[in-house]
Amino acid sequence: MGKKFYITTAIHYVNDLPHIGHMYENVVADVIARHRRRMGDDVWFLTGTDEHGQKIERSAAKEGIEPIELANRVVANHHELWKRLNISNDDFIRTTEARHRVGVLELIRRIQERMPDDIYLGEHSGWYCQSEETFIPENQVKDGKDTDGHAVEWTTEKNLFFKLSRYTQPLLEHYRANPTFVYPQTRLNEVMAFVEQGLKDLSISRTSIKWGIPFPGHQDHVIYVWMDALTNYISALGFGSGDHGKLDHYWPADMHLVGKDIVRFHAVYWPAFLMSAGLPLPKQVVGHGWWLRDQQKISKSLGNIVRPDNIIGDFGPDPFRYFVMREMVFGQDQDYSDEAFLTRYNADLANDLGNTLSRAIKMSDTYFGGKTPPTPCEDNDLLRAAQQIVPEYLALMDECAFSRALDAAWRLLVAINGYIVSREPWKMFKENGADESLSRVIWNSLEALRIVWVMVAPFMPATTREALARLGANPDAIAAGDLAWGGLANGGPVRVTDPIFPRADAAQYIGGNKLEQQPPAQETPSPETTQAAAPDMEKISIDQFFQTDLRVAEVRAAERVPKSKKLMKMTVFTGDEERTIVAGIATKYTSEELVGRKIIIVANLQPAKLMGIESNGMVLAASINGEPSLLSVDPAVPAGTKVK
């Protein structure tokens, strides 16, 4: 086994289903874990769920259920999602597990033993942010809000405190001695600027919350959710259990991968707790950027959640994984849209990667009887291109510059296409048949393609296996050594079959109302059934249902969208205004059939552009084999009437 590599994600709150931000984080961690594994490291990859604290307590109370019931329901969804996305985590920790409680209590015990006055009972007043469950420094509060826009309240509390102030200097020294401790640099600068102001002691217990681990010796206090949550990284390795085999082997973590909003907790509080307890510090805290929707962070509190279930369901996990890794410049923020996904899917995957693969395999099949050509080649343009690109790719992977690493792989793809076009193998075959020169040209193209796919492997693991098999290569040969030139067998079987990424009709896909915010079809649960139906992750609460504003609308005008088979542009009246809605119903309805009709619309959907037309809402229709059937209502019901 190579050197150990322990990577963690943040543990995700269970007050809501995972969204694209959570998915992104786990995909990034998975790409890193898969890449390190294939480079020979002994990888341990941990993810999990953060189940204690006020957020969960409140969300459960809203539904009238126990916090653990909510957690059990949502956690089932996490497991299912990570399976669907092919996340290769080695362990999954829930903060409600016994092993975690043991670890948290052991951390506190060690702090109390080693630094007896680091934890003390005290009183503190300050700006408290309920949403983050933390005090916010005075200079970060403006008009009753913190820098993230969360409301803060002036609060006084008698609590247990951690002497964080004692760690200001040791932390600064640690950052200076380890300039990549926080990565990228911008995040380090932010952390250092924060610590340089001088750290205040941290309140680490709560009496207002019941849902958590009771503080030892102070049973009416629960342990501060962040102290509880951060300990997952060692509790999952058996910290405090008496069996420290995994802990001794994998700790300290090599990388805590988290979003930029929680870098501070990982790079300031966590190392301070560890210093106090006499435990080694993680090697690196890496902060990724945010997925945005209309330039705002996607989050439950803002109500602009994106869950691309349709995309993953319809295209499989790999195109989604590729898209998020390619589209987002690591560390920066990125706006999400289905349109951007479809553009990349068609251009990068269906066209560049998929077509080049089909084309090269087809030629090998035709010219060399279903096999890879008989002659290898050790001196050619593609070999030189691969030898230049692979080291660049590896360096970019080490820097977490995933978008650029993929770009490097695509440069080899461009070189392959250029090579094929300039050699004109179809002419060579016509003129001289399947001779040695042709054998070299085709084999070189296939071999370079194999290397492209080996580069792509951590991003699209399932499709890579399929592509390698089609190329006549070993589907599991994706290790570091397989990036070297010369791995493709001569005379191996190639497989000509359907396109690996079938082209998508973007307008039709989006016009078919497959908007990313549309929840999967489901029955509306009554409050009673919500309570009774326990771990069914597709169910939503009645509150969630009521977030959808359904209204009766009257169609006042309708015309087909030019150049679209499916799309109809309608002007509808909603009782107080007219608005435009574009819907994929033109295969079934004519404008005459629509005008005057009363339909049901989702009135509070964010606008979306369909073939350049802004659509403000969505019509409800049943779909029978793709054929829409509009929901209608008694014509006497006035436009604007709420539907529930």
Does residue number 281 form part of the binding site for ligand MSP (CB under 6 A)? no
Out of 195, 227, 229, 483, which residue is the one contacting ligand MSP (CB under 6 A)?
Answer: 229
Out of 5, 6, 25, 93, which residue is the one contacting ligand MSP (CB under 6 A)?
Answer: 25
Q: Are 412 and 386 in contact (CB under 8 A)?
A: yes
Out of 259, 319, 354, 584, which residue is the one contacting ligand MSP (CB under 6 A)?
Answer: 259
Does residue number 525 form part of the binding site for ligand MSP (CB under 6 A)? no
CB of 390 to ligand MSP, least distance (A): 30
- Tell me the window of 211-219, 290-298, 343-351, 607-615 that interacts with ligand MSP (CB under 6 A): 290-298
Q: Are 491 and 372 in contact (CB under 8 A)?
A: yes
Closest CB to ligand MSP among residues 258, 385: 258
Q: Are 206 and 159 in contact (CB under 8 A)?
A: yes
Closest CB to ligand MSP among residues 50, 352: 50
CB of 180 to ligand MSP, least distance (A): 19
Please tell me the distance from the alpha carbon of residue 629 to that of residue 375, in angstroms, as a whole number.
Answer: 59
- Tell me the window of 193-201, 203-211, 253-261, 390-398 that interacts with ligand MSP (CB under 6 A): 253-261
Build a one-symbol-per-residue string for 449-488: x at contacts with ligand MSP by CB under 6 A, - elsewhere. ----------------------------------------
Does residue number 290 form part of the binding site for ligand MSP (CB under 6 A)? yes
CB of 336 to ligand MSP, least distance (A): 9
Bridge partners (DSSP) of residue 94 are: 49
- Tell me the window of 97-105, 152-160, 294-302, 389-397 that interacts with ligand MSP (CB under 6 A): 294-302
* Token reading at 193: 């600027």
Out of 68, 192, 262, 537, which residue is the one contacting ligand MSP (CB under 6 A)?
Answer: 262
Cα–chain center distance at 214 = 33
How many other C-beta atoms lie within 10 A of the C-beta of residue 627?
11
Size of the site for ligand MSP (CB under 6 A): 20
Strands annotated E in 294-398: 296-297, 334-335
Does residue number 237 form part of the binding site for ligand MSP (CB under 6 A)? no
Residues 56-75 that bind ligand MSP (CB under 6 A): none
Does residue number 22 form part of the binding site for ligand MSP (CB under 6 A)? yes
Closest CB to ligand MSP among residues 291, 419: 291
DSSP per residue, 333-355 = -EE--HHHHHHHIIIIIIIIIII
Question: What letter represents residue 52's amino acid?
Answer: H
Phi, psi of 607 (to 5 degrees): -60, 150
* Token reading at 367: 């010219």
Out of 274, 298, 363, 582, which residue is the one contacting ligand MSP (CB under 6 A)?
Answer: 298
Out of 5, 24, 269, 345, which residue is the one contacting ligand MSP (CB under 6 A)?
Answer: 24
CB of 338 to ligand MSP, least distance (A): 16
Question: What letter represents residue 268's amino acid?
Answer: V
Q: What share of the chain is helix, strand, coil (3-state, %, to 5)?
A: 45, 20, 35
How many other C-beta atoms lie within 10 A of the C-beta of residue 134?
21
Position closest to ligand MSP via CB: 259
CB of 123 to ligand MSP, least distance (A): 27
Does residue number 89 form part of the binding site for ligand MSP (CB under 6 A)? no
Scan for tokens 């009363």, then name that residue. 598
Closest CB to ligand MSP among residues 45, 485: 45
Out of 6, 13, 330, 341, which residue is the one contacting ligand MSP (CB under 6 A)?
Answer: 13
94-123 in b/e burial notation, b at 16+ Cβ within 10 A?
bbbbebbbbbbbbbbebbbeebeebbeeee
Please tell me the distance from the alpha carbon of residue 220 to that of residue 208, in angstroms, as a whole number.
Answer: 9
Question: What letter represents residue 351's amino acid?
Answer: N
Q: Are 312 and 85 in contact (CB under 8 A)?
A: yes
- What DSSP state is assigned to residue 269? I
Residue (of 103, 12, 22, 19) closest to 52 by Cα position? 12
Chain contacts with ligand MSP (rule: CB under 6 A): 10-13, 21-22, 24-25, 50, 229-230, 258-259, 261-262, 290-291, 297-299
